[in-house]
């Protein structure tokens, strides 16, 4: 049975690259970059998407900060400031008394989970529950039976593979880095081949428009250009330098990182019991997170692992949607304890 949700019910996913919030009642979805800009006196100049647009373009007197790293709060004060600003924009006033479920990754320590809960309370949360991100994903996908399934979250700051029974987490493992390593790989490739420096925002733009896990299949996408004209900076003269980069070059830069993800998933699958794997693979492995938007990532995984994969609907917002839906599920919500040592799944 589902309870009716209101706009005071929030599902929150604090990601390394972006904060996603699903709002009850009207089905509003919010996505803001997880970054802030401050001056030398620690005064905040910009938050969220505006701060993200300023990355790599700041004068020396301004500092760019990303307060969430590898899926956990790295800078508590800046995280709270960022969240308060996002919620103020949402409600057009100071926020108090909202209910929320917030997701966390499996490698988070009890101290990091506590920081997550306290940050939401400091932003005005009255009833705050925290849940493993894989369970939130499972709720978002509608899992409510007793069958085993596998979800792989390709997040910006964390890659996580999880085995679930219904929407309850059984076993999880993660890498403390995510598909943001593709940005670093692209930056390194451009510096070595073209002798230019580009910022994270440019690298992310290249990734979003040209990154493909199977470059030979890009020709089948009529709406995608095979190359982009990009501007960078000559590291010696400081003069802008223009060049073209193709999707095959992008693949060459991220190929190693893609292979590492496959190796990680093979290790996770081999760690499961045979009966769990047998039942779980009766269903596709679901891909969520921003990395699932890379062109042909599903086909790449299937070719390397010889099992079926499926990209979830709204993969970037899935965890926040699942958190929100959990609020409307009394039985599930009762299982989410506020005590941090409740999660005793196999790691």
Q: Which phi-psi region, left, alpha or beta, contains residue 188 (left: φ > 0; alpha: ψ -120 to 50)?
A: alpha
Alpha-carbon 108 to chain mean position: 15
A 10 A CB-CB count for 141 gives: 20
Q: List, for residues 31-53, the tens digit of each pLDDT value.
A: 999 999 999 888 889 999 999 88
Say if residues 212 and 233 touch (Cβ distance below 8 Å).
no
What mean pLDDT comes out for the span 149-153?
98
Cα-Cα end-to-end distance for the chain: 31
Task: For 135-147, write each residue's pLDDT tens digit.
Answer: 999 999 999 999 9
Strands 98-104 and 9-14: parallel
pLDDT for 345 beyond 70: no
Q: Indicate the pTM of the whole model.
A: 0.92
Residue tagged 């701060």 (tokens): 51
Confidence of residue 341 (pLDDT cuts 50, 70, 90): very low
Confidence of residue 54 (pLDDT cuts 50, 70, 90): confident
The structural domains of the chain, ordered by start, are 9-144+314-342 (3.30.420.40)
């Amino acid at each position: 049975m589902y309870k009716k949700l209101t706009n005071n019910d929030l599902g929150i996913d604090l990601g390394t690259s972006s904060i996603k919030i699903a709002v009850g009642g009207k089905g509003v979805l919010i996505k803001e970059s997880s970054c802030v800009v401050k001056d030398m006196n620690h005064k905040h100049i910009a938050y969220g998407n505006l701060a993200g647009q300023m990355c790599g373009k700041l004068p020396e007197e301004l500092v760019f900060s990303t307060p969430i790293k590898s899926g956990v709060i790295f800078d508590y004060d800046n995280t709270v400031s960022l969240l308060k600003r996002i919620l103020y924009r949402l409600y057009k006033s100071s926020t108090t008394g909202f209910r929320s479920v917030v997701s966390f990754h499996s490698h988070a320590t009890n101290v990091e989970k506590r920081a997550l809960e306290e940050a939401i309370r400091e932003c005005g949360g009255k009833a705050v529950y925290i849940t493993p991100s894989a369970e939130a994903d499972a709720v978002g996908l509608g899992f409510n039976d007793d069958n085993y399934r596998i979800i792989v979250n390709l997040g910006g700051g964390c890659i996580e593979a999880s085995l679930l029974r219904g929407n309850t987490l059984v076993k999880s493992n993660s890498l403390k880095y995510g598909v943001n390593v593709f940005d670093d790989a692209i930056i390194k490739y451009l510096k070595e081949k073209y002798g230019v420096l580009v910022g994270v925002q440019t690298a992310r733009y290249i990734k979003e428009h040209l990154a493909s896990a199977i470059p030979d299949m890009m020709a089948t996408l009529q709406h995608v250009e095979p190359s982009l004209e990009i501007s960078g900076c000559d590291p010696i003269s400081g003069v802008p330098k223009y060049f073209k980069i193709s999707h095959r070059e992008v693949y060459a830069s991220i190929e190693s990182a893609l292979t590492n993800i496959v190796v990680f998933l093979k290790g996770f699958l081999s760690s499961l019991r045979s009966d769990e794997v047998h039942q779980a693979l009766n269903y596709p492995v679901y891909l969520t997170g921003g990395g699932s938007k890379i062109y042909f990532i599903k086909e790449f995984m299937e070719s390397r692992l010889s099992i079926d994969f499926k990209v979830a609907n709204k993969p970037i917002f899935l965890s926040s949607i699942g958190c929100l839906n959990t609020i409307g599920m009394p039985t599930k919500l009762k299982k989410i304890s506020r005590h941090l040592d409740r999660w005793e799944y196999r790691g």
